Structure 1
Amino acid sequence: MNVRETLAGRAGIAADVGLGAVFAVALAFWAFRIAESWGGEYWRFDCAAGAVVCACALVRRSDPARAAVAGLAVAAAAVLIARLAHLPAEPGPAMALGLSVLIGSAIRALPAPGAVAVAAGGFAVVAGSLLAALTSTSSHQAVATLNGVGWLAAVAIGLWPRLLDARRRAIAEKVRRDERLTLARELHDVVAHHITSIVLQAQAGRLVARKHPETVDGSLADIEAAGSDALAATRRVVALLRDENDAAPATPGPERLSELVERFGDHGPAVRLRLPEDASAWPPEVAGTVYRVVQESLTNVSRHAPHARSVTVSVAQDREAVTVEVVDDAPPVRTRYHHRGGFGLVGMRERLEALGGTLRAGPRPGAGWSVLTTLPVPARKHP
């Protein structure tokens, strides 16, 4: 379990402890109101039924579907029993709160059919409470109204994250689709270029072989080199076309980084570029990914850090990996953190993951933002 999962678990436990305290207060408050207005032992049934539903809400994380079904069943039974036995209206405030938690959590976590079924079950409980209130006192009608409001709030709270997730998936899928279209263009522009070169050299070799047979070895060597380039380009593009790990095509690499930085500096903050001495030895897919990482990072600076005064692009290499870090010195702005978590990094992260790399992005201590990527470099094959 990593640190993020540990913190999330602790936050969940703290939230449930606070929720349990709210449930206890609501149960005690409603028991006091029932005892004050109805007298006798009428409060016992409400407290027992409400406590069961609240307990289901507290254990919902292990199985949201079963917890919601159990809570709704208890609530439906409570509505029926309260009506037949002439008891205070159900669900009471504590039970209504517990049902809201159960319904909202189920709608958020369950697949669409299960979420719809739970929402319909909650509506049935509200409708039953409302029907009981139509022939009862005004206090019963107030309880029914409270239940209706709780159900609407639960549905809204459960649906909102689902809609956000759907929107994120749609945007991420658009990024992947755009990347695949770009890759299709590269298949045409890069691979087709290599194949055409092979065909032309083969045709030329046939002509040369007739007139100057002694030069055939040189022609065959050229064809072999062109074929090797075509095979490497084909493997790279096809590998990047995988559905789960598709990435962008290789773009002109280290030799073009200086031009990219210069263009950015013409309309943005000053950029300092640090490159390793042997950057030209990178494979095409590594060089292209490094270029795209720097390009996307500088684009993010221009969009989300307008007050940055300087940017540093550092590219380092050892025997196993290339590390790229892009940092700026913009003052901290709350809205910036939100925007930086958007979908501009989706394509960058997928390019890196497709090649076995990693990405970390976040605020720096004090001020500024940092994007740090690590990309493994394949071992060179010696002839």
Structure 2
Amino acid sequence: MTTSDWPARWTGIACDVGFALVAVPGLVFTAYVISDSWGGSYALFDAVASVVMCLLALARRISRAGTATAGLVVTATAVAVAEIGGLPQEPGPVTSLALAVLVGSAIRTLSPPWAGGIAAGGLLVVVAGWVSGGFKTVVVLGTLAWLGALVLGAALRLIDYRRDATAERVRRDERLALARELHDIVAHHITGIVLQAQAAQLVTDQQPAAVVGSLAGIEAAGSEALAAMRRVVGLLRDTEDAAPASPGPEQLSHLVDRFLRHGPAVQLRTPADTSSWPPELTSTVYRIVQEALTNISRHAPRARSVTVTVDQGPETITVEVVDDAPPATGRHPHRAGYGLIGMRERLQNLDGTLQAGPRPGGGWAVLATLPAPQDADRGRALSASTTEGTW
């Protein structure tokens, strides 16, 4: 079981515990009512049927279709036996609750034919209860339980479908964007190699000495292309979280604008010119800011302002995102999750580092450091001018 499976596992355990906390008092109360009205021996049949149904409900993850089918059979049998043997009306409240759990779980998770069949089987059990018992409290409760299972199961199925569709759309979009990024990287470096080779062919006869410089340029461009390809391949190997899109420098301000629709004010500081940055670098910077702002939206609802600073020195590029949320915000103390893991992995692919943690006076800070493009003159030109909100 992967780490990402743990939230679903704990949610399932919590649901089972909640079901048990309702079912056990229900069994005791039903047995008391039947014993008081009919006699102690009459409560035994309902108790056995209820216990069997509860066990099936707790074992539903083993086989959704199998346990739901078995639950319908047990409930229908209980209704028939109670009618023939002159026993108290079935299904009892706990049996109806367990059947609702089985039916709702089947409707949410099974294929449409199976889900429809289980829902129809539940309806037949409800109709059988009305035919055998008429308008009684247990029959009404059973009907309400079936309706609740039908509505809740269908609603959760729709939510799951929309979530899966959204996740698939995001994965497809990011892979298409990655294809564009890969094309841009290859085109940029390979074009340089082709131009250098063409130049070498032109000067071979007239200026043989110049060929050496062209060959050196071809070697350098090839090395840069290989390094860039390795970085992109490293990002592609992250199958759980698709590699970042290839946003251009101008899109960072668009990201901030989208954040401002539901978040606090943002002060954005970036270098005046990032046109010479390689695509893999701009993509990583973009995704760092994106994940940091997403974490602020999720975990720091009381933050009043955010500062995003992208700065370049002679040797390093730093990306810092800081919020001023008060200490008592109820957020998770470490903001742990796959977002920080993904940021750290992307930075490692570029030989960068990541620091993230609470600030002494409140709020949270994310600081990423990356190597600057290896061009001293370009680095000094970029670091000489910084503006706010132009990225």
TM range (shorter): 0.5 to 0.7
Residue pair 1:103, 1:155 contacting (<8 A) in 2 also: yes
| 8 Å Cα contact 1:190-1:233 kept in structure 2 | yes
Structure 2: gaps (5+ residues): 271-276, 312-316, 372-391
More off after superposition, 43-52 vs 239-248: 239-248
Is the Cα contact below 8 Å between 2:303 and 2:363 reproduced in 1? Answer: no
- Separation of aligned partners in 1, 2:111 and 2:361: 43
Q: Give the 3 Å change call, closer, same or farther, for CA 213–362 of structure 1 in structure 2.
A: closer
Please name the residue that 1:44 is paired with. Answer: 44
Pair 1:95–1:372, CA change in 2 (3 A): farther
Name the counterpart of 2:384: none
Partner of 2:287: 292
1:204 CA drift (Å): 1.7
**Preserved contact between residue 172 and residue 346 of structure 1 (Cα < 8 Å):** no
2:377 matched residue in structure 1: none
SS in 1 for 2:304: coil
Tell me the residue number matched to 2:304: 308
* 1:1-20 alignment runs, 5 A limit: 16-17=16-17, 19-20=19-20
Kept after mapping to 2: 8 A contact 1:250/1:286:
no
Structure 2 CA distance, aligned partners of 1:5 and 1:243? Answer: 17
Paired position in structure 2 for 1:220: 215
* Distance change >3 Å, CA 168–CA 87, structure 1 → 2: same
Q: 1:247 aligns with which of 243, 251, 259?
A: 243
Quote the residue 1:179 is aligned against: 174
Which residues of structure 1 form unaligned runs of 5+? Answer: 274-281, 316-321, 378-383
* Residues 165/49 of structure 1: CA separation in 2 closer, same or farther (3 Å cut): same
Between stretches 299-308 and 74-83, larger displacement belongs to 299-308
Q: Give the whole-Å Cα distance in 2 for the aligned partners of 1:359 and 1:42.
A: 68
- Asked if structure 2 preserves the Cα contact closer than 8 Å seen for 1:251 and 1:289, the reply is no
The one-letter code sitting in structure 1 at the alignment partner of 2:151 is A
| CA apart distance, 1:152 | 1.7
Distance 1:131 1:366 in 2: 69
Q: Cα distance, 1:95 vs. partner?
A: 0.9
Deviations 1:190-214, CA, capped at 9 Å, x for gaps: 3223222222222221111121112
Q: Aligned partner of 1:204: which letter?
A: A
Q: For the Cα contact (< 8 Å) 1:248–1:351, is it kept in 2? A: no
Instruction: Give the drift of 1:113.
Output: 5.4
Mark the CA change 1:246 to 1:46 in structure 2 (over 3 Å): closer, same or farther.
closer
Instruction: Give the residue type in structure 2 aligned to 1:172.
Output: A
Aligned to 1:319: none
CA shift at 1:93, angstroms?
A: 0.9
Whether 1:211 and 2:211 are equivalent positions in the alignment is: no
Deviation of the 1:220 alpha carbon = 1.5
* AA partner of residue 34 (structure 2): I
Distance change in 2, residues 1:330/1:116 (3 Å): same
**CA deviation string 1:326-381 (max 9, x = no partner):** 331124798x979xx9xxx9998767657778999998899535558899x9xxxx
In structure 2, C-alpha distance between the alignment counterparts of 1:10 and 1:238, rounded to whole Å = 35
Per the TM alignment, residue 221 of structure 1 is displaced from its structure 2 partner at its CA by 1.4
The partner residue of 1:192 within 187, 191, 195 is 187
Q: Relative to structure 2, which stretch is displaced further, 49-58 or 294-303?
A: 294-303
Task: State the AA in 1 paired with 2:148.
Answer: A
SS of the equivalent of 2:321 reads: strand
User: What's the counterpart of residue 135 of structure 2?
Assistant: 138
AA partner of residue 55 (structure 1): L
TM-score after normalising by structure 1: 0.67
Change beyond 3 A, Cα 1:374–1:118: farther
Q: Are the counterparts in 2 of residues 106 and 118 from structure 1 also a CA contact under 8 Å? A: yes
- In the alignment, the residues of structure 1 paired with residue 348 and residue 124 of structure 2 have an alpha-carbon distance, to the nearest angstrom, of 51
The code of the aligned residue for 1:292 comes to: R
Q: Give the aligned partner of residue 27 of structure 1.
A: 27
2:365 and 2:157 map into 1 onto residues whose CA distance is 30
Matched AA of 1:247? A
* Separation in 2, partners of 1:16, 1:46: 21
Q: What's the offset of the Cα at 1:9? A: 7.0
Query: 1:173-197 CA distances to partner (integer Å, 9 max, x unpaired)?
Result: 2222222232233344332232222
Corresponding residue SS for 1:138? coil
Query: 1:98, CA displacement in angstroms?
Result: 1.7
When the two structures are superposed, what TM-score results if normalisation uses the length of structure 2? 0.66
| Identical residues among aligned pairs (%) | 52
Instruction: Trace 1:72-87 onto structure 2 (pairs within 5 A).
Output: 72-87=72-87
The 3-state SS of whatever aligns with 1:74 is: helix
Match of residue 324 from structure 2 = 329
How far residue 151 of structure 1 moved from its aligned partner, in angstroms, is 1.2
Q: Given the alignment, which residue of 132, 143, 148 partners 1:148? A: 143
Would you say how many aligned residue pairs link Structure 1 and Structure 2? 346
